[in-house]
């Protein structure tokens, strides 16, 4: 048993979709989450910069004595996962390979990927899918406007629905059987994505799939949290507006009591705002 928390990081609120799955699948595990909203979006940034940001947040989470790290951001996974896994003594889980594995198990011959520019340009999904099944047809589409819509608009509005419909019209000319939501922001608008793609297309939530990997590691390495420990207290942090982040988090996680603390970035370090 190990009662330390699991750390999660993302460029903003997107990783909360991974947390939501964790709350359902791993209810006894404590969560510490950091959303780097002040520097969102990560997608257009150079990989080296994203890697630096990821390390800064990771170092903050390590200071909280986490037992496992989830990079709940596809762009950060593509940029930093191998480096983190090579240098950290705790397990590190990304969100790309679990999505690839789920798509390969679907047995559908045409797979679509929607993600940020950084994730698409990295080739992580295309290469991973091709190495798993060489005869797959892979169609990739960068959809950075979905991230902006989730972070800055009412993600359940008809305006966002129209943005999604217009963007995914691409797949009418490039049809697919399976669509990987290769950005953890996208499941917040999964209803609109499903409507645009139609019922015949299987949607894969790459971030949620990663919790299966986390669950396996916890069991194999005897890292599970003891049942019903009274001291369990989930913590949420953001480098941006705690009020804005909190509003989205409370709505998505259905928790009106959820508290969000602010973080600052000082001298390339992520620190509590009251320090």
Residues 219-250 as b or e (16 or more Cβ within 10 Å = b): eeeebbbeeeeeeeebbbbbbbebebbbebbb
**Distance from C-alpha of 134 to C-alpha of 250, rounded to nearest angstrom:** 42
Q: Is 183 a catalytic residue?
A: yes
Q: Which of 61, 73, 76, 211 is catalytic?
A: 73
The answer to the question of whether 125 is labelled as a binding residue is no
Q: Is 108 annotated as a binding residue?
A: no
Task: Give φ, ψ of 174 to 5 degrees.
Answer: -130, 70
Catalytic site includes residue 142: no
Q: Is 191 labelled a binding residue?
A: no
**42 marked ligand binding residue:** yes
Q: Does 11 appear as a known binding residue?
A: yes
Task: Name the catalytic one among 32, 114, 138, 183.
Answer: 183
Has 241 been labeled as part of a binding site? no
10 a known binding residue?
yes
Q: Is 174 annotated as a binding residue?
A: no
Strands (E) located in the chain: 6-10, 31-35, 68-71, 92-93, 110-115, 137-142, 178-181, 202-205, 235-238, 260-266, 269-272
Residue ranges at the known binding site for substrate: 10-11, 42-43, 74-75, 184-185
- Which amino acids are annotated catalytic? 73, 183
């Amino acid at each position: 048993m190990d009662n330390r928390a699991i750390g999660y990081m993302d460029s903003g609120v997107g990783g909360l979709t991974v947390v939501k799955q964790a709350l359902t699948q791993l209810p006894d595990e404590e969560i510490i989450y950091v959303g780097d909203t002040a520097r969102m979006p990560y997608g257009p940034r150079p990989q080296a910069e994203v890697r630096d940001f990821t390390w800064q947040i990771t170092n903050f989470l390590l200071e909280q004595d986490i037992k496992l790290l989830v990079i709940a951001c596809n762009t950060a996974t593509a940029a930093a996962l191998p480096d983190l896994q090579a240098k950290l003594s705790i397990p590190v889980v990304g969100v790309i390979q679990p999505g690839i594995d789920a798509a390969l198990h679907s047995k559908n011959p045409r797979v679509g990927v929607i993600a940020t520019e950084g994730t698409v340009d990295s080739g992580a999904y295309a290469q991973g899918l091709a190495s798993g099944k060489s005869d797959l047809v892979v169609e990739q589409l960068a959809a950075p406007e979905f991230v902006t819509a989730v972070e800055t608009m009412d993600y359940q509005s008809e305006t966002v629905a129209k943005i999604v419909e217009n963007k995914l019209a691409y797949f009418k000319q490039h049809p697919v059987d399976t669509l990987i939501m290769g950005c953890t922001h996208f499941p917040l608008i999964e209803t609109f994505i499903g409507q645009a793609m139609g019922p015949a297309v299987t949607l894969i939530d790459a971030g949620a799939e990663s919790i299966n990997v986390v669950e396996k590691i916890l069991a194999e390495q005897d890292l599970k949290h003891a049942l019903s420990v009274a001291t369990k207290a989930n913590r949420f942090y953001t480098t941006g507006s705690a009020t804005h982040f909190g509003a989205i988090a409370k709505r998505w996680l259905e928790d009106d009591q959820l508290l969000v603390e602010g973080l600052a970035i000082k001298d390339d370090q992520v620190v509590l705002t009251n320090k």
